[in-house]
Copies of this chain bind each other. A is one copy, B any other.
Amino acid sequence: MTATAPRITAVDTYDIRFPTSRELDGSDAMNPDPDYSAAYVVLRTDAGDGLEGHGFTFTIGRGNDVQVAAINALRPHLLGRGVEELCTDPGLVNRDLIGDSQLRWLGPEKGVMHMAIGAVVNAVWDLAAKRRGKPLWQLLAHAEPEWLVSQVDFRYIADALTPEEALGLLRARREGLADREAVLLERGYPGYTTSPGWLGYSDEKLTRLARQAVADGFTQIKLKVGADLEDDVRRLRTARAAVGDGIRIAIDANQRWNVGEAIEWTNALAAFDPYWIEEPTSPDDVLGHASVRKGVAPVKVATGEHVQNRIVFKQLLQADAIDVLQIDAARVGGVNENLAILLLAAKFGVPVCPHAGGVGLCELVQHLSMFDYLALSGTTADRVIEYVDHLHEHFEAPVVMRDGHYTAPLAPGFSATMHPESIAEYRYPDGAFWAADLAGTEQAA
């Protein structure tokens, strides 16, 4: 306890990189050699309660330092701010950060600067949930609809969703919330796994991992496609043979194609009944996705992990361009903007199936899907959270999978907190791992 109201005393940032490119895991048609990384931020206070707010942007290696520089540029907006005010109304700091007119020029609301805002805003929510002693999903689901609506920035989306409509959606779903929470706590939230489907795996490994996924309780797997059509036909045939007809197989092109190619390529794989085609083309191309969707039905179109903000999601919905909306916890401007996106999806009746994987994305995004289930969608039908078994060991409260489901996290916060030992080891370039690695490289050179 301090005599005066507690304040934010430090905004510490860390450039953390894991050398994942040395294995083949995580490679796809656009990202052959990712080093899964986090531009990580810790908000410290003088509250004396030992609680910190943790957040991060996920990147895949080079440029993680740029992302850290962007978070550093936000520091003056946080330092000295009252902790209680921040945690009672994270929407306030969200608006301040987005509204900094000089920094806004660097987006607006997209790319490096916007992801930095997302990291900081998520750290505020982590702190808020820890102070309330609740996991974030529960804090959100138990919150009053009016307060949730106050957390949303309706600028540029009011033509598709008004505050009144948002309030109506939340109020309508209050009924049965306690029952759904009981179900969630018992069964968890369904996941699907991308682990079998990375490019570069042999057919034997693909078959083995696909069968393992089914044995583990998953009812959907995902395969990366888009590098070579013949290979894709063979791999999809192999996967279908391995899992049988009852399991959904999604395919993911990671933005590899033009619109015309996307339609042709997807249709060439249609015989194997792919459930959705993910990121068929540029995430910026709303009209392109609408054309692809018309051209590949009944295969569904999914996108979102690289969609920059609520404004593009709004248009994807307005243009009937997607069947599945894939939020990402660390791409847009944090929890507040994801609330807007979840509300938009509910308004348009499009299921949300989050992107995850990377480092820490599973940990974060499960909270948003669980809130979606309890407070907005009311169902988990046709809704799955991506799961990849990567790097969970670096988190204090890693996700726990059971029978293909994410179990509801009970630890207070947003599950964003990384072990101090992991930070010390993988901080770039001066953590123990990298210091040794870079010294070795220099010695070899």
Contact = CB atoms under 8 A, between A and B. Distances in A.
Contacts of A63: 70, 73, 102-103, 105-106, 113
Given A63-B73, A111-B114, A258-B156, A34 B102 contact: yes
Contacts of A34: 101-102, 105
Interface string A57-79: 00111110111011001000000
Interface residues of A, number: 60
B73 A65 contact: yes
Interface string A92-128: 0000000011111111111111110000000000000
A16 to B, nearest CB: 15
A102 B60 contact: yes
A431 to B, nearest CB: 18
Contacts of A113: 63, 66, 111-112
Interface string A276-299: 000001111111100100000000
B286 A315 contact: yes
A415 interface: no
Number of copies: 2
A318 B287 contact: yes
Given A284-B312, A315-B287, A102 B59 contact: yes
Contacts of A114: 111
Interface of A: 30-35, 59-63, 65-67, 69-70, 73, 100-115, 154-156, 158-159, 255, 258-260, 281-288, 291, 306, 308-309, 311-312, 314-315, 318-319
